[in-house]
């Protein structure tokens, strides 16, 4: 599993969002992007993370930062998650976890005492040219936005 670091080129992606629209990394060329990976829509940690992003979305947009979430969930589950919490940003379906693998966030983890394969909650701050400014693996749900803000302050 590759581990991406600041300065690395972000791997390209093109995935369907909760509305069935194809969203790619190229769509954000010229903008900064907070790309975060979460294990499963509408679970406690993922809801906490998504709602914290939702609550800060306008402030992040004023800083020129777009936000996209990625999980293995199918688009219809993503749509229900978005509708239930009024998230209002793209939630991408990486059902075959190819993008998660490219970002080094698909791997073995322990859940309830058992080893399983899945998304390792992580986030990446990507600059206007597609380079990674910040990479956080095993990030706590509530730390996704603060870590991105701190990296933006440092990069400014």
- Can you tell me the distance from the alpha carbon of 43 to that of 46, in angstroms, rounded to the nearest whole number? 5
Nearest to residue 139, comparing CAs of 34, 25, 62, 61? 34
Structure token digits, residue 76: 């219809």
Sign (positive or negative) of CA dihedral 113, 74, 12, 154: negative
Residue 46 bears catalytic tag: yes
Instruction: Using CB atoms within 10 Å of the CB of residue 88, give its burial: 0 to 12 exposed, 13 to 18 middle, 19+ buried.
Output: exposed
Annotated catalytic residue: which of 46, 60, 65, 67?
46
Active site residues: 46
């Amino acid at each position: 599993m590759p581990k991406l670091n600041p300065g690395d080129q972000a791997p390209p992606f093109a995935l369907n969002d909760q509305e069935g629209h194809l969203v790619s990394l190229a769509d954000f060329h010229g903008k900064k992007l907070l790309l975060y990976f979460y294990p499963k829509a509408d679970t406690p940690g993922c809801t906490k993370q998504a709602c914290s992003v939702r609550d800060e979305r306008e402030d992040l947009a004023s800083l020129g930062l777009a936000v996209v979430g990625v999980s293995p969930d199918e688009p219809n589950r993503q749509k229900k998650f978005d509708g239930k919490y009024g998230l209002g940003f793209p939630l991408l379906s990486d059902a075959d976890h190819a993008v998660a693998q490219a970002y080094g966030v698909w791997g073995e983890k322990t859940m309830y005492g058992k080893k399983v394969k899945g998304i390792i909650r992580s986030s990446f701050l990507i600059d206007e040219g597609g380079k990674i400014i910040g990479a956080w693996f095993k990030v706590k749900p509530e730390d996704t936005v603060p870590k991105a803000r701190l990296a933006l302050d440092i990069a400014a």
